[in-house]
Amino acid sequence: MTTTWHADHDLLQAYVGGELDDAQAYSVEAHVLACDQCRRAMAPEVARDRLEGIWQETLDVLDRPRARPLERLLVRFRVKRSTARLLSATPSLQASWLTAVVVAVGFGALASHRSDSGLAFFLVLAPLVPVIGVAAAYGPGIDPAHELTVAAPISGFRMLLLRSVAVLAASVAVTGMASLGLAVVDWTAAAWVLPALALTGATLALSLVMSPERAGTCITVAWLAVVLIGWSATGDDLGAFRAGGQVTCAVVAAATAAVLARRHELFEVRSQQ
């Protein structure tokens, strides 16, 4: 291509300095790509560190490994890339774990079609899904790289919260899908949500003084005891999920959130012992 017009020195300097508006910049860019003389004139004007930066950015894009599937999914939900990488190591967000959850709540939903107690079985089981997930999200013996996490400047409590929120979201999503398959289509299909929040909050609060693993076990046992005792005392298998139970769960969820906000420093103290 024959070019008769050339960009003058001032125009090239303005382009290099990023002072042109988009239309002018694109125009200069198109011309420079085609014009050897202007490319040569522009080269000395470009700051070396900027060129280096662009080159490194290019290298990084080419060299960077492709994000893992879970990371890509989280990024789609607008989670920061670095946070997505931290979450992708969560033991209770791995495919094998999620598969187990899908199978468990799927069977629970199917059970609601088979017997009168099937719905109660699902409702008792569903809030325990995030509890067990949180218990298996963070801690020695659970996370292979736990020791490295503890020795890093990132707050251990923040890691636990991050992973717990992700586990809770995944659990609610999976259990919510399963609840669409329940034999009932009224309020009871969602009666597990507040208990799930309350039990997860209680597990986190208890993690301030014991390992999340042990906290999850304690809360699971306590939940089963409360529900079964209530059932045998009243003869109502859905008793724990009616208005009184829901209000209690809401209060427990709020109380545990307050405890976590005020006393989270206990987590670091415990993990140092």
Partner 1 sequence: MNPMVETTGIEKRYGRTVALQDVTLAMTEGVTGILGPNGAGKTTFLRILATVMAPDNGGLRLLGMDPSTPEHRVDIRRRLGYFPQEPGLYPSFTGFEFVDYVAILKEMVDRRTRHDEVRRVLGLVGLTEVAGKKIKTLSGGMKRRVVLAQALLGDPDLLVLDEPTSGLDPEQRLRFRELLSDVSGHAAVVLSTHQTEDVAAVCNRVVVIHHGAVHFDGSTQALAELARGRVWLADGRAAGAVLSWRTADQRHRNIGDAPAGAELVEPTIDDGYLLLVGETGMKEAA
Interacting residue ranges for partner 1, rule: CB under 8 A: 56-57, 60, 63-65, 68, 81-82, 85-86, 89, 143-155, 265, 268, 272-273
> Smaller CB distance to partner 1: residue 154 or 210?
154
User: Among residues 82, 88, 210, 198, which one has the least CA distance to residue 139?
Assistant: 210
> Smaller CB distance to partner 1: residue 8 or 265?
265
Shortest Cβ distance from residue 200 to partner 1 (Å)?
24
> Smaller CB distance to partner 1: residue 155 or 246?
155
Within 10 angstroms of residue 71's Cβ, the number of other Cβ atoms is 19
Shortest Cβ distance from residue 238 to partner 1 (Å)?
41
State the Cα–Cα distance between residues 60 and 121, nearest whole angstrom. Answer: 51
Shortest Cβ distance from residue 152 to partner 1 (Å)?
4
Shortest Cβ distance from residue 207 to partner 1 (Å)?
18
> Smaller CB distance to partner 1: residue 13 or 56?
56
> Smaller CB distance to partner 1: residue 47 or 251?
47
- Integer CA distances (angstroms), 13 to 16, 23, 24, 44, 178, in order: 5, 16, 13, 10, 62
State the Cα–Cα distance between residues 154 and 14, nearest whole angstrom. Answer: 43
For 34-82, the DSSP string reads H-HHHHHHHGGGS-HHHHHHHHHHHHHHHHSPPPPHHHHHHHHTT--HH
- Calculate the CA 84 to chain-centre distance: 7
Shortest Cβ distance from residue 68 to partner 1 (Å)?
7
